[in-house]
Amino acid sequence: MNITEFIENFAAQFDDTDEALFTPETKFKQLDEWSSLTALSVIAMVDDEYDVIIKGNDIINSETIKDLYDVIEKQL
């Protein structure tokens, strides 16, 4: 897994948000499209793509996409 691939997979969980807005520094919870449903989609994507189980607290405690990436990478 690398950060670029993760960002692409993360961005795929959003239907209406421009992919250009997704960078390691993106504060994803501030995106207009972010919702609890999107959070569940991200959790499912991480499980499917990386075989890693993350919890709601992992998302709550992550501010940026890079923060969440680091949580996942530690479990690989």
- The residue ranges of every structural domain in the chain are 3-12+28-75
Dihedral of the CA atoms 5, 7, 49, 75 (nearest 10)? Answer: 100
The CA distance from 42 to 14, in Å, is: 10
Give the per-residue pLDDT at 51: 98
Give the per-residue pLDDT at 28: 98
pLDDT 10s digits, 5-60:
999 999 999 999 999 999 999 999 999 999 999 999 999 999 999 999 999 999 99
